[in-house]
Amino acid sequence: MKADITLDLRGTACPMNWVKAKLQLEEMSPGQVLEVLLDDGEPIRNVPRSARTEGHRILEVKPEGEGFRLLIQRGEESDEPLATSE
């Protein structure tokens, strides 16, 4: 599957790798695919879990070199309004 956007986060520490992936996903349209290149260990354990929690779909997790290639399909827009602090 071809990604719409690639984000190379190898060498980026947790939780910044998820923060950067999340910000990119927020700029994408529902159904678009984000390719994320991640290091082994904590990043590949945490980023897919966080993406699923946020309503995105993990299409592929594949070893690539010393890291991993992760394909995330952007989830649908939420109908819930964002919480505001007063």
Task: Look at residues 62, 4, 3 and name the one whose alpha carbon lies nearest to residue 38.
Answer: 62
Judge residue 77's burial from the number of C-beta atoms within 10 Å of its C-beta, 0-12 exposed, 13-18 middle, 19 or more buried.
exposed
Residues carrying an active site annotation: 14
